[in-house]
């Protein structure tokens, strides 16, 4: 299987990690990262809240970690085209570290942030690890972005991987951290949008990849693991779901109840979204484990369209009433936070 061509042929050269970013005037609190610089070095140079890092066109092959203390950070591409600046690496869950241990799912992320008030715009975040290149590794989860900080906002960002592309998590099991994604593109195959955060996706595009396997379902778009006490999990509003796979090869979602939080009560609402034929319309949901059937979870839809949204077996597609839909909006999920305001 070939590595994604989407990551090649971009403006700028391959950027080596470990070099220093160019500094703008200190009073402007802006750092510029250009080919030959490192995004992580720019993050490390941030010494207070409210900084902006501008990433110029190029492919930056490195891991980027934004710690909790880098509050109010903005990371954006220098161009409005998210294809111009790409941050990519290729660790997987089962990849060995130098000390012989493995990275685990969260540790495999190319990009991770624990910082509250993060804004990411006009970038590509990718993990190009491929199963076919590593037949000896069974831990195939390879995360592009792992996000835990409250009030994290992503606008016009491409998130590319295969299994577990985007991990929307929280800073603690007792936290209901909020995340917002607008005009983003997310692609993958298995559980590629997953986690326990309150995460709102508006006008986003989810794309399921073709897989050379002889079983179905070939994957699932969503795998929420919402805390039982949290009334709001993942919400997709006015989005679209497309596929490179054959018709009905994918499920829309399955619930994830982690072994470390067996009281989780996954919540997912997909509303006013166009769902293409790649999703199994007759049975859009499935179980991850028999002990936690999807029918007992908070899975609902509202006014979706497209061949993958057809209600052919009503009991397999629970719907919100109009009154219930009024409680499942960006405003109610974000609880007073207005991204970009």
Strand partners, 152: 179
Instruction: Give 115-166 as a 3 state SS string.
Output: CCCCEEECCEEEECCCHHHCCCCCCCCCCCEEECCCCEEEECCEEECCCCCE
- Cα 211 from chain centroid (whole Å): 20
Residue with tokens 């989407």: 6
Q: What residues contact residue 281 under an 8 Å CB cut-off, 6+ apart?
A: 248, 275, 307, 308, 309, 310, 311, 312
136 is catalytic: no
How far is the C-alpha of 86 from the C-alpha of 62, rounded, in Å?
A: 10
Active-site pick, 90, 155, 169, 191: 191
> Tokens representing 161?
């991987």
CA 180 to CA 233: how far, in whole Å?
12
Contacts of 208 (CB under 8 A, 6+ apart): 187, 188, 189, 192, 218, 219, 221, 241, 242, 243, 244, 245, 249, 250, 278, 279
What dihedral angle (degrees, nearest 10) is formed by the CA atoms of 85, 29, 38, 86? Answer: -10
Residues involved in catalysis: 191
């Amino acid at each position: 299987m070939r590595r994604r061509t989407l990551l090649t042929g971009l403006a700028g050269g391959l950027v080596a990690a470990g070099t220093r970013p160019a500094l703008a005037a200190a009073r402007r609190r802006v750092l510029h990262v250009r080919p030959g610089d490192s995004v992580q070095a720019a993050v490390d140079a941030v010494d207070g809240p409210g900084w902006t890092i501008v990433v110029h066109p190029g492919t930056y092959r490195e891991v980027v970690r934004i710690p909790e203390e880098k509050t109010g950070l903005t990371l954006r591409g220098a161009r409005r085209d998210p294809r111009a600046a790409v941050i990519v690496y290729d660790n997987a869950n089962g990849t060995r570290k130098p000390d012989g241990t493995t990275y685990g799912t969260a540790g495999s992320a190319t990009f991770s942030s624990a910082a509250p008030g993060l804004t990411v715009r006009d970038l590509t975040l990718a993990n190009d690890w491929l199963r076919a290149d590593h037949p000896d590794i069974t831990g195939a989860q390879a995360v592009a972005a792992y996000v835990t900080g409250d009030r994290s906002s992503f606008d016009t960002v491409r998130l590319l991987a295969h299994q577990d592309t985007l991990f929307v998590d929280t800073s603690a099991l007792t936290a209901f951290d909020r995340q917002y994604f607008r005009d983003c593109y997310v692609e993958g195959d298995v559980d590629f949008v997953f986690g326990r955060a309150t995460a709102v996706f508006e006008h986003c595009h989810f794309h399921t990849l073709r897989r050379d396997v002889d079983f179905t379902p070939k994957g699932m778009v969503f795998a929420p693991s919402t805390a039982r006490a949290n009334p709001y999990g993942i919400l997709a509003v006015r989005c679209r779901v497309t596929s490179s796979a054959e018709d009905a090869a994918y499920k829309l979602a399955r619930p994830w109840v982690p072994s470390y939080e067996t009281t989780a009560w996954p919540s997912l609402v997909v509303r006013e979204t166009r769902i293409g034929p790649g999703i199994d319309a007759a049975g859009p949901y499935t179980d991850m484990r028999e002990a936690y059937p999807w029918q007992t979870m908070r899975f609902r839809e509202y006014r979706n369209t497209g061949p993958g949204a057809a209600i052919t077996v009503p009991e397999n597609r629970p719907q919100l009433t109009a009154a219930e839909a009024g409680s499942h909006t960006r405003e109610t999920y974000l609880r007073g936070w207005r991204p970009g305001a």
